[in-house]
Structure 1
Amino acid sequence: MRKKSTRLLSAALAVCMMLSVLPVGAFAAEPGAAEPENGVSAQEETEPYRLKGGETVNDTFVAAHGDVYELSGPYTKSITVYTTKNVTLNIVGNVDVNMGSALLNVKDARDLKINAGQYEVVAKVKNTDAAAFMNLNASSATVVVQNGRYLDGEQRLSFFTVVAGTLELNDVYIAAKKTTFPILNGSEVYINGGDLTAEGYYMVYNAPWPWAGIEKAGTVIIDGAKIKNGFVGSENGSVEIKNSTLENNDGYCVSIEGGTITLNNVNVSAKGEESHNSRVLDLCGKLYDDTAKEIRITNGGTYEALAGGMTVVFGGGLNADVTLDNITIKNGKYGVDCRVDKKHELFIKNVTFEGNDTDIYLSSGEDSEEFGNPYVTIDPTFTSEAKIEVQNPYEGRRITTYTNGKAYQKNLKLTSANPGYVIGYKNDYRGEYRYLTRGYYVDSEKAVATAEINGELNQLDSTKLIAKDTEVTLKAADTAPKGKKFKGWKLYKVVNGTETEITDGTELSKLLKNGTETTATLTMPAYNVKVEPYYSNIPYNITAVNCTVDKTEAPMGDTVTATRRALKANERFIDWTVKVNGVEQDTDTFLTPDANDPAKVRFTMPAENVEIKANFKGIPTLNIGDHVTANIDGSDASVPSGSAVPVGETVHLTATVPDGQHFISWTVLVGGEEQKADTFLTTPDANDPAKVSFVMPAENVEIKANFASNPTLNPTLRVGDHVTATIEGSDASVPSGSTVPVPKNKIVHLTANVPDGQHFISWTVLVGGEEQKADTFLTTPDENDPTKVTFTMPDKNVEVKATFAEDPIPEPDPVGPSDTGNIQGAISAVVVGAAAGVIIYEAGTGIYRVINMPSIPMPSNRIELAELLWEHAGKPEPVSTALYSDIEQDDTDAQKAAHWAVEQGLMKDDADNNKFHPAFPVSKLRTCLTWNAAKEKGLFAKTEE
């Protein structure tokens, strides 16, 4: 862009040098602005004088027209200000400048105030190289422009040209679409606030313009402004920008050649796309020109590249010191492109780099520190990370300036962007510094390698480079692989992907120093290294009992063979027992039998001690009971009881039945524990269970045959007291307390005769002297009368007796005297004529059918009894509608049931106290008596009878 601007300026210079007056931009004064203290008092009450164009405002003019003037409307002639007085110009309407020169030509003044409000000053200057609004060339003048909107209509050189004097722009709005240099300066310009917009070229240019009378650049101070699509340029001048925002979508934001610039709390972003526009800040010095002084970019703010490939801060050929402090530089190809010569320094203080491909780029003039290589001074306040790239990398190329005093550079977070290089650290007689050196990696896939980089501990891998002589801590896993123990370290030299183990003892001793048991320190050589721990096998002990093993110790994974000892007389092998660290194992999975030798087994050695034992026992014996003979398959000789029988032999047994008895079963004990005979024994002849066979197990066997006397042909029946029996097919009965013979399979009928004052309880049956379950042995033809039963005579003697109990005495009604009338008759009839008792009452009254229905329990108190009776009577309405005081009023069913039961004479109440006593308990007997009374009264439906 610099070349392009030079061409444009040359053309402008050729035209403008022919002009006698440099055009000046138009201004507007805000109405109501306070007059200066030294204003002409005589004019205070005079109406402001409207300037029409072509006037010269000098001391005489001020004396005649006052010091306050108005501007509005079109102007075709310039106005010259050439006075020693303070003057105010108020722009009271839109202003059109339509001529070949500046609207205002200020040659002399003290304080010139221009108040424009929000009026527009539009320049339509015919001369495209002339100034548009104002030309200030008065060293004693201070021009303050307040507000106003300054717009251009044609291309021209500037809005405001300052040759001499001071210009202050407060909250102005400039929209320069075609203006080349909206603000051209060689003296002092202050821009406070405002919005300044251009179309991709300069907004402020602070530089010498001899043809315009500007011999050298001046000072520009911008505070709180917003500058868009136009940049601030300066050549050997002084520029300070603070608290402002600069954005350019087609070029630089700031372009400096020599001089000084300070950026304080400024946000800057640019989007240049052409190579010469690809810098956010273009800070270019002039080689061998000592007019350059200092560049400071400090105190907050963000400097950002909005397009790829841009440099954020460019210092090409810069011969001034540069200080960057408390700012953010982001998203550039280079964050800072530093090209200062060796007489000047780049100071990086509290800077944050974000998203840059390279944060700091350092050019290289020669491969020597004496010629042209720039360095960077990085302050201890720098805590961000920085990627640094140098133009011509070489071993030992210094990156930072020397510092002395408290060491801090070692902790600076600097990494190299040059492939194959890292940024090393040294502190020697010259001071502390960082330098470029070849980087090497440590491949430690099977261990952990760590080293201090930039003051922080980093874990290394094959992608992280470190400098030669860096101390690397190697650490093996705290727990060795199972079955192994840590032995040491192996080192490999890696060249072009080929690994060669380092075995030379002298070289290894230089590289490695042992630390703790599993750590070591590696001094990094000038080549890539692969490190890995190696381990040795741990031998574990093998204890053999009743056998031999082919080795007494072995590492994990080895195969061990065990051979059991020879059998002794009358001995047999049982099995193997294996314990690992004292814990017994499943031998079926732990051991593998030898297919060719049954005395051998194999196992894989675990990572623990092993004990293996062969187990033996004597040959088991066979013990047989009386009347049993035994012989081994294939032999006719009998085996005496207590003989030893080899495991696996088939033994045949025969039971010889004694006279008068018959065979019942076999009893088998193996190892002292009884077995199921039908499972342990086989019966070759299914029709003769007295002959069986079995295979001899590994335990002692005891077998006996069980016999019983032959059954009696006519077993006897004995009946107890109050029991009579009849034999089906015979009219004779068996009287109580007698014993008679009864043929097997005859049906016997029994009747229990209940004594007076008692009731029947149950039957007791003994068959062959052993008690039987009566409800299983006996059947009850009438399920409602358990006193009559039948049974079929077995082949054993039978004894049957009946059990009775005393009847309970009926209790009275709990409210008053016992229920009268039919209830008392029912009590007498039941007690005397039906073997009184609760069970008989339940059966006799029919209430058992009710209480055995689902969800209907036996009543436990008076109100439950009353409700049971009332519900089974069909819930009739009682005569009385009164309410008992001891029954809840809203329980209508309970109230009705209680009154109905009293009205029917079934129950009593406490009429004097209007109480029913609902919670008073009732017995089963009381329930049965009252139920029967209701039946007698005909209060239940026939289905309830």
Structure 2
Amino acid sequence: MKKFGTRLISAVLAGCMMTSVLPVSAFALEGSTEFERTVSAQENSDAPAEPSGEVAAACPLTGGETINKEFIEEHGGSKVYSMSGTYTDGIVIDAEDDDVVINVTGETTFAKGSAAFITVRKAKSVTVNAEGQTIKTAEGLAYSRCFYAENSFTGTAVLHGGTYNWQCGSRPACYLCGGSWTFDHLTMKAITRAIETDGANVTVNGGTYDCSYSDSATFWIQNSTNSSFNYVTASGAGWVLNAIDNSVVNVVGGSYSSNKAEVHPDRPTLRVANNATLNVTNADVTGTYCDVFVTGATANLVGGTYTNTNQYLNLGYESPALKVWNGGTLSVKDAVVDCTGDNAAISSGEPAGSYYHYKYGDGGKLVVENCTIKNSKYGIYLGRGSSTSAELKSATFEGTESDIYLESDKEITISDTFTTKATIKVADPEEGRQLTVAGNANKLHLKGQNENYRVAYDKAQHYYYLTQRAPGYTLTAKDATATIKVGGVDTKVDPNDEIYEGTPVTLTADKAPEGLKFLGWTVMVDGVVQNDLLKFPNEEDQTKATFDMPAGNVTVRAVYEIVDPVDPVDPVDPVDPVDPVDPVDPVLPGVIIGGAVILGAYETGTGIYRLMNMQGIPLPSDRIELAELVWERAGKPEPQNMTDEDLYADIDADDTDAQKAAHWMVEQELMKFDEDNNKFHPCFPVSKLRVCLTWQNAKDKGLID
């Protein structure tokens, strides 16, 4: 028996067939206020504007109707309908170029199996308003759909709000073969599928969707040229989104989680296959098997988080968070990939010997840029397959056992922009085993993890490879170029190169900057000064030096000093005399001059100190210039004890800055003054050594940086 609220409505609305308007009060049945929305729903209708205080009649649908031209004419031209109660027959919309509006005014139940509740064949547009209402199947119903769009439908359909509880075990809640559909903030629970397309396009805005059948998908999108999911919350026991068969699907924001049962623990959260394209931006995706699986298709992931728990590893199911194979392409940019368990975070291809490797036998193309990859056994994994490739542009690895893993014969493309230190391991280590494709500059920081092998760089072919591990040391040359012979060719040494003990090294100092001249070399081996390590092929030109690599890490620096064409002997500071030939501060580095180690030479020490600690700072010539230089560098602090009565007699009282600088320097015990005569002796010259020592004293006290 068909039921709609109460049979009293038939008598009240009988006039619906004769006229298109009735007073609003005529529809206030069972306490419903939903009809207040009818006016806005009618805005797309062809019906004329209604007089104030009246709305278009919403004709009740009781089930079994076919809304076509004849039906619309029989009901006074009304295209606005209402729905509530239990229905044992479906409704068909075959309205050609008309706009059909259905308002759901109360809980609505469909109780017929092997049928569709609402079938759309033709219409210009279909709108279903169900905010605050529930549409569901009857208990135990197994074979029905809520919405079925035939491929003859080319119009638009919009579903506004509502809770859809469609618990049929073998049919999708919405099966759409035609038209463009918009799902606007729905809550939908289904068993088999919430939305399936086969030719239609869908736009899903917000809302919550869940599918409990582990061998299906919450969203099954096929043959769709343009579908989008915007800020949707979706979950499922199987695939949450399956985009296939040349579809183009765009996902923006939202949350997608797969909570698989153990029946099918090998279902990825998002799957794209068969020449489809999936674009995901800033979504949060979680899974127990695989977050995104690309096979024979294309996926572009930008931003967002991808979290994989691998909770079914004990059943033999394992998969990376992100995986591409079978000739597909996967691009990942600005994302965080967190994959726990004995697995890889991102992979192209499968491990040798796996079931899927034997079944599909090919990998795909992988591109990774500016991603954070963490907590996995392997960060990036290149498996078997002729199409397997990976390009690493930039990434940060956290908590991974191996940042990069290569199966037999696989090589990875690493951009020169990748400056992060990374570990790399291969399945087939041997002498000369190539790790990267040709074309790299020698500036990557790769650390080999295969026992007895280290990473080396082929400077002729420009790639990284494995070589037998032997004691090797690093050489860092500052303001100079270091070269060694490789295949008889002079080759520049970079800081990450490993150089064997005894290897001949040649040093060439860089051209002296303007205003400076070459002074000598500093040499340290494992942090200890060893200036006698160098030899000079030409004693007249010590800008070139040689040495044999010692058993330690070496740092060499070319040292320059300021050109001073007129350099008289600096007078001794009259207030605080210092012997100009006393050893300088021990922090000053050693210097080789003419093959001899000079640590205490006055000119050498002060020249080096100024170069390393006072570049760009003018050298003061007298005491007041020195006082003002340090005082200004300290930020011109106020002296604590300066008064009008104790101003220095030999500094102009109106020269406030000079008085403050002198008093502050004395207070900080950086300089002294003539107590007997209350004079500072501002014009007394200061030696270069005194300048360096005073500057260092101020730094040690934390007064200047």
TM-score (ref. length: structure 2): 0.52
* Aligned counterpart, 1:41: 47
* Aligned counterpart, 2:434: 398
Task: Encode CA deviations 1:413-443: one digit per residue, 9 max, x unaligned.
Answer: 2222333333322243xx5322233333348
Task: Encode CA deviations 1:344-383: one digit per residue, 9 max, x unaligned.
Answer: 642222322222222222222xxxxxxxx44322223333
- Is the contact between residue 29 and residue 88 of structure 1 (CA under 8 Å) also seen in structure 2? no
User: 2:112, 2:375 → 1: CA distance?
Assistant: 46
User: 1:487, 1:469 → 2: CA distance?
Assistant: 13
User: 2:130, 2:493 → 1: CA distance?
Assistant: 60
Seen in structure 2, the aligned counterparts of structure 1 residues 205 and 334 have a Cα distance that, compared at 3 Å, is: same
Seen in structure 2, the aligned counterparts of structure 1 residues 341 and 141 have a Cα distance that, compared at 3 Å, is: farther
- After the TM superposition, which residues 256-335 of structure 1 pair with which residues of structure 2 at under 5 Å, given as runs? 256-275=294-313, 277-286=317-326, 292=327, 294-298=329-333, 300-305=334-339, 307-316=340-349, 319-335=363-379
Give the match's secondary structure for 2:391: strand
Give the match's secondary structure for 1:197: strand
Give the match's secondary structure for 1:41: coil
* Aligned counterpart, 1:162: 197
- Is the contact between residue 122 and residue 151 of structure 1 (CA under 8 Å) also seen in structure 2? yes
* Aligned counterpart, 2:701: none
Q: CA deviation at 1:95?
A: 3.8
* Aligned counterpart, 2:283: 244
Give the match's secondary structure for 1:411: coil
- Match 2:255 to one of 219, 222, 226: 226
- Is the contact between residue 379 and residue 403 of structure 2 (CA under 8 Å) also seen in structure 1? yes
- Is the contact between residue 411 and residue 455 of structure 1 (CA under 8 Å) also seen in structure 2? no
- Is the contact between residue 133 and residue 159 of structure 1 (CA under 8 Å) also seen in structure 2? no
Q: CA deviation at 1:35?
A: 5.3
- Is the contact between residue 280 and residue 303 of structure 1 (CA under 8 Å) also seen in structure 2? no
Task: Encode CA deviations 1:843-875: one digit per residue, 9 max, x unaligned.
Answer: xxxxxxxxxxxxxxxxxxxxxxxxxxxxxxxxx
Q: CA deviation at 1:150?
A: 3.8
Paired AA for residue 326 in structure 1: N
* Aligned counterpart, 1:133: 146
Seen in structure 2, the aligned counterparts of structure 1 residues 391 and 58 have a Cα distance that, compared at 3 Å, is: farther
User: 1:259, 1:466 → 2: CA distance?
Assistant: 48
Give the match's secondary structure for 1:350: strand
User: 2:118, 2:448 → 1: CA distance?
Assistant: 57
* Aligned counterpart, 2:516: none
Task: Encode CA deviations 1:681-740: one digit per residue, 9 max, x unaligned.
Answer: xxxxxxxxxxxxxxxxxxxxxxxxxxxxxxxxxxxxxxxxxxxxxxxxxxxxxxxxxxxx
* Aligned counterpart, 2:558: none
Seen in structure 2, the aligned counterparts of structure 1 residues 519 and 89 have a Cα distance that, compared at 3 Å, is: farther
User: 1:337, 1:402 → 2: CA distance?
Assistant: 19
User: 1:90, 1:386 → 2: CA distance?
Assistant: 60
Give the match's secondary structure for 1:400: coil
Give the match's secondary structure for 2:549: strand
- Match 2:548 to one of 506, 512, 520: 520
* Aligned counterpart, 1:356: 400
* Aligned counterpart, 1:700: none
User: 2:483, 2:451 → 1: CA distance?
Assistant: 20
Task: Encode CA deviations 1:646-703: one digit per residue, 9 max, x unaligned.
Answer: xxxxxxxxxxxxxxxxxxxxxxxxxxxxxxxxxxxxxxxxxxxxxxxxxxxxxxxxxx
Task: Say yes or no: does 1:438 pair with 2:468.
Answer: yes
- After the TM superposition, which residues 438-477 of structure 1 pair with which residues of structure 2 at under 5 Å, given as runs? 438-442=468-472, 457=495, 475=525
User: 1:451, 1:96 → 2: CA distance?
Assistant: 83
- After the TM superposition, which residues 859-938 of structure 1 pair with which residues of structure 2 at under 5 Å, given as runs? none
Higher relative contact order (CA 8 A, sep 6+): 2
Seen in structure 2, the aligned counterparts of structure 1 residues 148 and 251 have a Cα distance that, compared at 3 Å, is: farther
- Is the contact between residue 295 and residue 328 of structure 2 (CA under 8 Å) also seen in structure 1? no
User: 2:36, 2:411 → 1: CA distance?
Assistant: 52
User: 2:104, 2:37 → 1: CA distance?
Assistant: 8
Paired AA for residue 218 in structure 1: S
Among all aligned residue pairs of Structure 1 and Structure 2, give the percentage whose two residues are the same amino acid. 20
User: 2:452, 2:138 → 1: CA distance?
Assistant: 61
Task: Say yes or no: does 1:418 pair with 2:450.
Answer: yes
* Aligned counterpart, 2:242: 205
Seen in structure 2, the aligned counterparts of structure 1 residues 426 and 518 have a Cα distance that, compared at 3 Å, is: closer
User: 2:502, 2:140 → 1: CA distance?
Assistant: 71
- After the TM superposition, which residues 99-110 of structure 1 pair with which residues of structure 2 at under 5 Å, given as runs? 99-100=112-113, 101-110=115-124
Larger CA Rg, structure 1 vs 2: 1
* Aligned counterpart, 1:540: none
- Is the contact between residue 526 and residue 552 of structure 2 (CA under 8 Å) also seen in structure 1? no
- Match 2:90 to one of 65, 74, 78: 78
Q: CA deviation at 1:162?
A: 0.9
- Is the contact between residue 142 and residue 168 of structure 1 (CA under 8 Å) also seen in structure 2? no
- After the TM superposition, which residues 173-212 of structure 1 pair with which residues of structure 2 at under 5 Å, given as runs? 173-178=208-213, 180-188=216-224, 189-199=227-237, 201-207=238-244
Seen in structure 2, the aligned counterparts of structure 1 residues 166 and 457 have a Cα distance that, compared at 3 Å, is: same
Seen in structure 2, the aligned counterparts of structure 1 residues 112 and 442 have a Cα distance that, compared at 3 Å, is: same
Seen in structure 2, the aligned counterparts of structure 1 residues 390 and 487 have a Cα distance that, compared at 3 Å, is: closer
Seen in structure 2, the aligned counterparts of structure 1 residues 532 and 53 have a Cα distance that, compared at 3 Å, is: closer
Task: Say yes or no: does 1:55 pair with 2:62.
Answer: no
User: 2:88, 2:528 → 1: CA distance?
Assistant: 93
* Aligned counterpart, 1:544: none
- Match 2:380 to one of 328, 331, 336: 336
Q: CA deviation at 1:60?
A: 4.0
Seen in structure 2, the aligned counterparts of structure 1 residues 468 and 229 have a Cα distance that, compared at 3 Å, is: farther
User: 1:246, 1:302 → 2: CA distance?
Assistant: 10
User: 2:139, 2:242 → 1: CA distance?
Assistant: 20
Paired AA for residue 169 in structure 1: V
* Aligned counterpart, 1:386: 422
Q: CA deviation at 1:36?
A: 8.9
User: 1:190, 1:282 → 2: CA distance?
Assistant: 21
Paired AA for residue 80 in structure 1: V
Seen in structure 2, the aligned counterparts of structure 1 residues 82 and 244 have a Cα distance that, compared at 3 Å, is: farther
- Is the contact between residue 63 and residue 87 of structure 2 (CA under 8 Å) also seen in structure 1? yes
RMSD: 4.5
User: 2:249, 2:93 → 1: CA distance?
Assistant: 23
Paired AA for residue 133 in structure 1: C
- Is the contact between residue 321 and residue 345 of structure 1 (CA under 8 Å) also seen in structure 2? yes
Relative to structure 2, which stretch is displaced further, 190-199 or 132-141? 132-141
- Is the contact between residue 324 and residue 330 of structure 2 (CA under 8 Å) also seen in structure 1? no
Seen in structure 2, the aligned counterparts of structure 1 residues 194 and 343 have a Cα distance that, compared at 3 Å, is: closer
- Is the contact between residue 132 and residue 157 of structure 1 (CA under 8 Å) also seen in structure 2? no
Q: CA deviation at 1:269?
A: 0.8
* Aligned counterpart, 2:441: 409
User: 1:32, 1:469 → 2: CA distance?
Assistant: 89
Give the match's secondary structure for 2:64: coil
Paired AA for residue 246 in structure 1: V
Seen in structure 2, the aligned counterparts of structure 1 residues 457 and 427 have a Cα distance that, compared at 3 Å, is: closer
User: 2:83, 2:505 → 1: CA distance?
Assistant: 79
Seen in structure 2, the aligned counterparts of structure 1 residues 343 and 161 have a Cα distance that, compared at 3 Å, is: closer
Structure 1 residues without counterparts, runs of 5 or longer: 1-27, 208-215, 287-291, 365-372, 445-449, 489-514, 523-529, 534-945
Seen in structure 2, the aligned counterparts of structure 1 residues 125 and 285 have a Cα distance that, compared at 3 Å, is: farther
